[in-house]
Structure 1
Amino acid sequence: MTAAPKGAVAVRFAGPALLLATVFAVLWFYRVPPATTALFVTYLALGVTLPGTLWWRLGRGRREWLVADLAAGLVVGYIGEVLCYVVARLLGAPLLVLVFPMATVAVFALVPRWRSYFRAAPDPDRPSVPAQLALTALAGLTLVWSVKFFRVYGLRYPANASPDTDSPFHLALLGEAKHHMPMTIPWIQGEPLLYHWFVYPEMAATSWVTGIEPNVLLLRLSMLPMLMGFTVLVALLGRRVIGAWWPGVAASAVTLLVLAPNPYQWQLNAFYRDLAFSGFDDGAYLRQTAWTGPTQTFGALLFVPVMLVLVDLLRGSRRQWVLFAVLLAGVTGGKATYLPLLAAGLCLLVVVRRFDRVALIALGGTVLAFLAGVLLLFGASGQGTRLAPLTDVATGGIGVTTGFSAGREPWKLLVLAGLTVLCWAAMWAGIALLRRPSPELVVMLGMGVAGAAATMLLGQDGDSQRYFLESARPYLCIAAVAGLARLGGRALIAWAVVGVVAIQGVQTLGRNAIPKHASLLDLAAPYALLLLVLGAFWLIGKYAGSKYPPLRNGYFGHIIIFGLLLGFDVNTSVQHFLLIASESRQSGFRDVVRSPRYVSAGTLEAGRWLRDHSSPDDLVATNAHCLMFQGECSNLHFSMTAYSERRMLVEGWGFATTAHEEAARLGTWVGAVPYWKPAVLADNDAVFAAPTPANVDVLRNRYRVRWLFVDETQSSVSPRLADFAEFRYRSGVCVVYELPRP
């Protein structure tokens, strides 16, 4: 083996080193001290990635490029950490989670045949230095994108006062995972947690070992390695499927950057703009839900190694079935959305390959994992998901912003659905160039069809049907790049740049104002023009090929067409990044205070005081139940539970399984569902509004409430409350009382 030049080695390590330094600097700017980041990185490296990498190498029976092994090892390490933590938490000793890394290292050190797995591969298949730098840049891009989240999600008041409804929900479940196993819904009593919850024990374990506060993990640290690991693993999978590193890196870039084309310069309304949604659903991975939806981010990372192992199994490997089963178990608890998609892809492969044995075994394992998840994790509940065709386009960005979907007239929904499908065709047009796709590509195409169909046919009160397309997106992108790889790279990139410049020119000439009542012509005209331009290039390539050798066989025409499509699609991403810069210049780069404020002054401090002075088994009552949306009370108030890490008799009641089922039954939004136990709510609120010895006894003796957590802005609180409960702590408008023991 020829040693790599010293300069190449230096450049190879310079990229990751620069990225790591940038991570430290950016996090420091966003209120995370370097010592905290260093502690987190150390635990992630030694407590999760190192043992996971050893088991990954053992399961596959080989070592590969170090970065690839570390990225996949991170996934296996997460699964091992979660399963070990669940047992440790059940035993009441959460720090026993450290048995996983220590026992793993000891076993691999003691078994002679396994010691080689500590070392890197002697001659790995690694990408070229430019490809490695490109991949490092893509990983860094996820950090740049995270700035959109960091700047408006502060760690302390008032910058933490205006989160979305999901982040306090996830923080409350993280606190529940820190102190209880099995987990329940902590913001109301008596509700089981029927959810894919593995990401919460992962962060809880990290919090126990490092001492880092849960909100710092949720809002700053834990998602970053998941985002970056996903970026690397998609490139690795693309390389395995397509057979070269540059298409693999391109597949990762397409997954992150190619979005639904947006030929007009209209700005979506604030909700969709803040979340970085496109006008038409494109399953974008880089939108704010990458941080506000940690279960999806975690599940996306966990699933890529499933596909890596499946590729090996389909190509003749027989030793990786155990690893496949372990990874399936992790995905089941991480984000079960992926399992029906994988089952659909394997079903297509079974049909195409006439009952291939490997595909049948993998399909059987996937179905068993899905059924186990449905029964054990979800209690056979659909969380309000139902057959509701075209809900996704009815609640999509462009339809709502322009008012075109108002009233949900069938013909208008069909127009929006047609434009959405046209956008999908533009994004993944490279699939049209596939010829005799390999078995793994057949699986990916089946997953893509299933994800698109589920997104169009299903509905859920929180629009969770969109996660099906987002889950299938990386695999559609790999299939599209596999098709485009037949055309070569340089000309394709050149025409993609032309496409970006062209669409920017069209938008510069276009109008900014969104029409109050958009017509069919307003929506469809830019896409019709796009089709005409592409059709003209197709005709030129088809009929001029015989006269002009560069156009022979239509390849030059294909390059122009697909390059322009890439340019149109990447342009939407460019807009999003420009919007981050523009908003940051206008309102600030960090600690941006928004309105309305949903978390009251003192909630964090009072919550942490209560956490530090009470038992995890103590029950708390609060008068805070409402988030006010446009003058209406929403039941999505979770911040008391989130910052105290304590269970509440009733705070909010949204996002519970019963709430989703009630929303589906009533045909309303989950945040508008009334509480289905009005007597409990009345008993809870009576103590705050008009305390008496009798109603205090009911709260203390019947419900076993020990503490009262008061938000003085939420409802009228009786001045006599201090006569019946002992004042213990105040911060801002939040007060903590303790009920005397009987």
Structure 2
Amino acid sequence: MGRTVDGGRMDVHTRSADVDGGLPIRPRATGLTAYAGYLPALVVTALAVALLRLYDVPLRTTALFGAYTIVVVALPGVLVWRALRGRAGLLAEDLAGGLAVGYALAIGTQLAAVAVGLPRLAAAPIGVPVVFAIVPGLRRCWRGSGRTAPPAWSWSVAAGLIFLLLWSAATFYRTIGLSYPGNSSPYLDLPYQIALTSELKHHVPPVTPYAAGEDLRYHWFFHAASASAGNLTGVETQTLVYRLGVLPALLMFAVAVAVLGWKLAGRWWAGAGALAVTLFTVRPGQRDSSGVILFNLWNSPTQTFGAMIFAGLMLVLSDVLRGRHRRADWILVVLLTVAVAGSKATFVPLLVCGLLLVAAVQAVTLRRVTRPVLVTGLIAVAVLVAASLVLFAGSTTGLRLVPPGSLRVGTLGSIAVGWLAAWAGLAGLAFARERRSDPPIVLCVGIGLAGMGAMLLTTQPGGSQAYFLQSARPYLSIAAVCGVAGLLARPARVWRIAGVVLAVVMALTFVTVPHRYLDPARAALRQAENYPVRPGQVPAGALDAGRWLRRHSSPDDLVATNVHCVRLPGGVCDYRNFWVSAYAERRVLVEGWAYTPTAYKIAEKTGANFTRLPYWDQRRLADNDAVFTSGTAADVHRLVSAYGVRWLFADRRLKPRPLDQVATLRYHSGDCLIYELPRP
């Protein structure tokens, strides 16, 4: 049974012209009304530009990145999306799905362009609009459906986007600057993101740039997309990671959640509600402060980017699994499944588990499993296996099952009660027969159950098992809102039962869930205000020195450095040091060595912290450091002849020996010295 836009019931025989891919929508707007629908988007865009300018991004840089995003990513993606879907839909859905497709195309062209040594060919997607303008049969894809969403939905979603922008500014932009000393003490993993983006700007296939000889077994498609933007616009990689690169993905992810919630529940308010639940519900946990999805939006760009791609895939699957699809939709399913597998490793396993639940429900209710579910499952499994072999080469990055008995019953009970409170709306599905067997809604529930199970039953040295739950959160939220929508159509007796259940759950939650989880947003803002902006990990002059080295060296040149770790309180050395390879955009013989396959392997065997392991090749490390501590001609000759090092990048804070007698000082900025070594 469908719904009208204003939330009332819609006759099952409603004309298909009033429904767009499952979305009940308003008739074609005319006159000023047609343009008024764009006002929420204009407000969001203006705020984004203003905040970027406030936090040190020049208008020209914003314009360049915006032009790249529109011309190279969004426009080609939307046109391909419409062509494969066979229609223009609601503009919000076309933009959300089109951006996911556009990024998939941009990643593919970036990899191909760099692999053949012609990075400018990454601009190839700009040819897509030309083709769609020339070929008569494709010109229809330029025309929108002309149908608009209810103003209440548009402004509700815009309010969510405005919140995300203000949150980003208050908790991230304000705490991490683009110049020294504001960029000296970032979250330790952020220079890692810059380093991988720098690697993808120049090399395909990529390797670990900060530890020569180590493979890169990671989901690096976000970095390939950012590398494409950097190569084509000239925008500094640090600016992409700290300000711009995540922004389109973040905003379109939110839009996609709101569209999907609307499609599945059949009511406009359900879409806005799904977005609100996604952003603001508490994540029941044990003793961590990240109670909501908001905390990792910028600190984990791969998670946010992957979430946007996966949301685009779910928009397609919401029609495919209901049997409302064309053959060309399978191209989108394959393309976006591959894209999300390389963007964040958590999503495709969750998709497989969700599809298993759909298949189980269909086996019980229909006595068979429908073809769309089977084909989608085969695609997901094939992509999962391929990604495991090609991208990750069998590496699990230390992820393993929790030992039996290690999860306390009390902890499990507290988490379970918290989940019941946070997503109590799921209970509504029990009272709505047409919803509890609806394949895309069942898929959302399956993804949520898999995310919860993965978080509880697995562990990883860096706590990355929590990303399974982060990945599942939007779809649990959508399922919960669909349950609420189902309850609204039920008799009063059902409402009374639901009210009693909700009251019991809330009472138990008050007793068992720590109060700090009930106000995560306020705690986050308070933490941001106390964040120290002081000289730390990255020295003065690092960015300028890195820029100089890029201009005066080849991307294939190897660099040696004397900095290997970040000093933590108590003098502990954390080997997540990546800023030299990040800013120089050059591979380094030995910088840090955390997140490498060898480090994970040793940590698994020894149980040691993979971020604090000593380097396993002590001979190489000794040869590297001897140049900076002894500084003899023999040391330099060994580094050049045995390892192929061409440059030295020295941090003066570590008091290296004067090297003017054995190397040529080429650049000096702040605490950074760059020497060129003699050729062999």
Residue in 2 that maps onto 1:414:
409
Residues 359/621 of structure 1: CA separation in 2 closer, same or farther (3 Å cut): same
Residue in 2 that maps onto 1:137:
159
Residues 299/246 of structure 1: CA separation in 2 closer, same or farther (3 Å cut): same
The correspondence for 2:178, drawn from 132, 149, 155, is 155
Residues 251/420 of structure 1: CA separation in 2 closer, same or farther (3 Å cut): same
The correspondence for 2:144, drawn from 115, 120, 142, is 120
Contact 1:606–1:735 (CA under 8 A) maintained in structure 2: yes
Question: Aligned partners of 1:577, 1:293: CA distance in 2, in Å?
Answer: 18
Residues 260/189 of structure 1: CA separation in 2 closer, same or farther (3 Å cut): closer
Residues 566/149 of structure 1: CA separation in 2 closer, same or farther (3 Å cut): farther
1:222-621 superposed matches below 5 A: 222-260=245-283, 277-278=290-291, 284-287=292-295, 289-316=296-323, 317-319=325-327, 320-354=329-363, 355-389=369-403, 410=406, 413-435=408-430, 436=433, 437=436, 438-488=438-488, 553-554=496-497, 557=500, 575-579=519-523, 582=526, 593-594=532-533, 597-621=536-560
Residues 258/607 of structure 1: CA separation in 2 closer, same or farther (3 Å cut): same
- The residue type paired with residue 602 of structure 2 is E
Question: Aligned partners of 1:72, 1:109: CA distance in 2, in Å?
Answer: 21
Contact 2:115–2:205 (CA under 8 A) maintained in structure 1: yes
Q: Which runs of 4+ in 1 moved over 6 A?
A: 549-552, 558-574
5+ residue gaps in structure 2?
A: 1-25, 364-368
5+ residue gaps in structure 1?
A: 263-267, 279-283, 391-408, 490-544
Residues 570/119 of structure 1: CA separation in 2 closer, same or farther (3 Å cut): farther
Per-residue CA deviations over 1:417-459 (Å, capped at 9, x if unaligned) read 3212221111111111213311112222221111111111111
Contact 2:421–2:502 (CA under 8 A) maintained in structure 1: no
Residues 565/236 of structure 1: CA separation in 2 closer, same or farther (3 Å cut): farther
The correspondence for 2:568, drawn from 610, 629, 634, is 629
Residue in 2 that maps onto 1:35:
60
Question: Aligned partners of 2:488, 2:120: CA distance in 1, in Å?
Answer: 52
Contact 1:636–1:652 (CA under 8 A) maintained in structure 2: yes
- How many angstroms does 1:130 deviate by? 1.3
Contact 1:637–1:652 (CA under 8 A) maintained in structure 2: yes
SS across alignment from 2:345: coil
Question: Aligned partners of 2:312, 2:177: CA distance in 1, in Å?
Answer: 33
- The residue type paired with residue 190 of structure 1 is G
Contact 1:487–1:559 (CA under 8 A) maintained in structure 2: no
Per-residue CA deviations over 1:643-677 (Å, capped at 9, x if unaligned) read 11010000011111211221222112211111111
Per-residue CA deviations over 1:24-69 (Å, capped at 9, x if unaligned) read 1111110001221122111111111000001101111111111221
- How many angstroms does 1:331 deviate by? 1.1
Residues 205/410 of structure 1: CA separation in 2 closer, same or farther (3 Å cut): closer
- How many angstroms does 1:356 deviate by? 2.5
Question: Aligned partners of 1:558, 1:691: CA distance in 2, in Å?
Answer: 73
1:213-228 superposed matches below 5 A: 213-228=236-251
- How many angstroms does 1:577 deviate by? 3.6
Contact 2:487–2:494 (CA under 8 A) maintained in structure 1: no
Question: Aligned partners of 1:94, 1:659: CA distance in 2, in Å?
Answer: 32
The correspondence for 2:662, drawn from 724, 727, 736, is 724
Residues 559/649 of structure 1: CA separation in 2 closer, same or farther (3 Å cut): closer
Contact 2:561–2:588 (CA under 8 A) maintained in structure 1: yes
Contact 2:487–2:495 (CA under 8 A) maintained in structure 1: no
Question: Aligned partners of 1:248, 1:636: CA distance in 2, in Å?
Answer: 40
Residues 165/583 of structure 1: CA separation in 2 closer, same or farther (3 Å cut): closer
- How many angstroms does 1:583 deviate by? 5.7
Question: Aligned partners of 1:383, 1:426: CA distance in 2, in Å?
Answer: 33
Contact 1:261–1:426 (CA under 8 A) maintained in structure 2: no
Residues 200/473 of structure 1: CA separation in 2 closer, same or farther (3 Å cut): same
Matched, 1:146 2:168: yes
Residues 25/571 of structure 1: CA separation in 2 closer, same or farther (3 Å cut): farther
Question: Aligned partners of 1:597, 1:128: CA distance in 2, in Å?
Answer: 50
Question: Aligned partners of 1:105, 1:19: CA distance in 2, in Å?
Answer: 26
Per-residue CA deviations over 1:204-229 (Å, capped at 9, x if unaligned) read 11111111101101100111111110
The correspondence for 2:130, drawn from 106, 120, 136, is 106
SS across alignment from 1:737: strand
Residue in 2 that maps onto 1:690:
630
Residues 450/683 of structure 1: CA separation in 2 closer, same or farther (3 Å cut): same
Contact 1:152–1:594 (CA under 8 A) maintained in structure 2: yes
Matched, 1:708 2:648: yes
Per-residue CA deviations over 1:555-581 (Å, capped at 9, x if unaligned) read 665687789999999997883443455
Contact 2:424–2:502 (CA under 8 A) maintained in structure 1: no
Residues 18/571 of structure 1: CA separation in 2 closer, same or farther (3 Å cut): farther
Question: Aligned partners of 2:613, 2:526: CA distance in 1, in Å?
Answer: 38
Per-residue CA deviations over 1:349-375 (Å, capped at 9, x if unaligned) read 222212332211111111000000000
- The residue type paired with residue 713 of structure 1 is R
Root-mean-square deviation (Å): 2.6
The correspondence for 2:84, drawn from 36, 59, 64, is 59
Residue in 1 that maps onto 2:14:
none
- How many angstroms does 1:246 deviate by? 1.1
Residues 9/574 of structure 1: CA separation in 2 closer, same or farther (3 Å cut): farther
Residues 678/611 of structure 1: CA separation in 2 closer, same or farther (3 Å cut): same
Question: Aligned partners of 2:402, 2:500: CA distance in 1, in Å?
Answer: 40
- How many angstroms does 1:322 deviate by? 1.4
SS across alignment from 1:286: helix
**Percent identical:** 41
Residue in 1 that maps onto 2:10:
none
Question: Aligned partners of 1:138, 1:570: CA distance in 2, in Å?
Answer: 26
Question: Aligned partners of 2:322, 2:516: CA distance in 1, in Å?
Answer: 37
Contact 2:181–2:535 (CA under 8 A) maintained in structure 1: no
Matched, 1:18 2:43: yes
- How many angstroms does 1:389 deviate by? 4.5
SS across alignment from 1:447: helix
State how many pairs are aligned: 639
Contact 1:174–1:203 (CA under 8 A) maintained in structure 2: yes
Residues 95/410 of structure 1: CA separation in 2 closer, same or farther (3 Å cut): closer
- How many angstroms does 1:106 deviate by? 2.0
Segment drifting more, 428-437 vs 227-236: 428-437
Matched, 1:97 2:97: no
Question: Aligned partners of 2:242, 2:641: CA distance in 1, in Å?
Answer: 38
- How many angstroms does 1:460 deviate by? 0.9
Question: Aligned partners of 1:562, 1:140: CA distance in 2, in Å?
Answer: 32
SS across alignment from 1:671: coil
Residues 681/55 of structure 1: CA separation in 2 closer, same or farther (3 Å cut): same
Residues 556/741 of structure 1: CA separation in 2 closer, same or farther (3 Å cut): closer
- The residue type paired with residue 355 of structure 2 is L
SS across alignment from 1:722: coil
Question: Aligned partners of 1:478, 1:557: CA distance in 2, in Å?
Answer: 23
Residues 344/550 of structure 1: CA separation in 2 closer, same or farther (3 Å cut): closer
Contact 1:654–1:671 (CA under 8 A) maintained in structure 2: yes
